[in-house]
Structure 1
């Protein structure tokens, strides 16, 4: 879990994917690299958060949104992430907050 203020430092359409070490540790069968495209886990667009490994990105598996399958990234359906990508410039501030205890 993490929180804080970061900025969008880069944006990519149909980005390549390299799973982070902690994801490979949990799922050693994952490929070490996957070229961008419709089958890529990052989906149609990605916005990179600061110098972290985290991104706001699309997904080719919308049924996984809201589940714990990523290593901290924020996943959106491809149509929504493409819309956000077009409206949010590099340098935009992003506030990461933890879910409040209920």
Structure 2
């Protein structure tokens, strides 16, 4: 996430933290373009379908175990999904408690 150097608030002003939500990235950047279903993801990762549904719906956060399975399934660098979750969590905290202007 890029911060505005003037006051450390997210830029641009219309920015929405949901753009960083792992569920959004998973669906828009991985499942949809590769025409994968939730069932495909569950089978490929070894996660149960309830967990996959929870992740896709944004109700289950990416844990280290889930992140590792997603990284392996998609052939991504270790820690990709966990870092994405951490960045999303940080963005939510920043939106809830913006830093004071300098």
User: Relative to total residues, which structure has the larger helix share, 1 or 2?
Assistant: 2
Larger Rg: 2
* TM > 0.5: no
What's the TM-score once normalised by structure 1's chain length?
0.30
User: Relative to total residues, which structure has the larger strand share, 1 or 2?
Assistant: 1
